[in-house]
Amino acid sequence: MLGFLFNSKECQELEYLLKRELEEMLLDLGDKRIDSLVKRAMEERYQILFRMYARMASPAELTKYIRRPQLEKTPLT
């Protein structure tokens, strides 16, 4: 475990960077052209970044980035 001390300005910058990265990843995860293996790796990274963001964001802000589990779309036989 690592600890960091940030001043107010640095916290704002970190929050901004995390929000932008989460938004970008949400768009990419919704892209049907991206391979499922790549999406799985992206999903793992998304969860890490989301947990980091959750430490500094309000619950109202977090609701924008909560990712619902996606059910695999398999044809019914």
Residues 31-43: tens digit of each pLDDT: 999 999 999 999 9
Cα(21)–Cα(27) distance, rounded to whole angstroms? 10
Span 13-59, pLDDT tens digits: 999 999 999 999 999 999 999 999 999 999 999 999 999 999 999 99
Q: What is the enclosing helix (H) or strand (E) of 21? A: helix 8-29
pTM over 0.75: yes
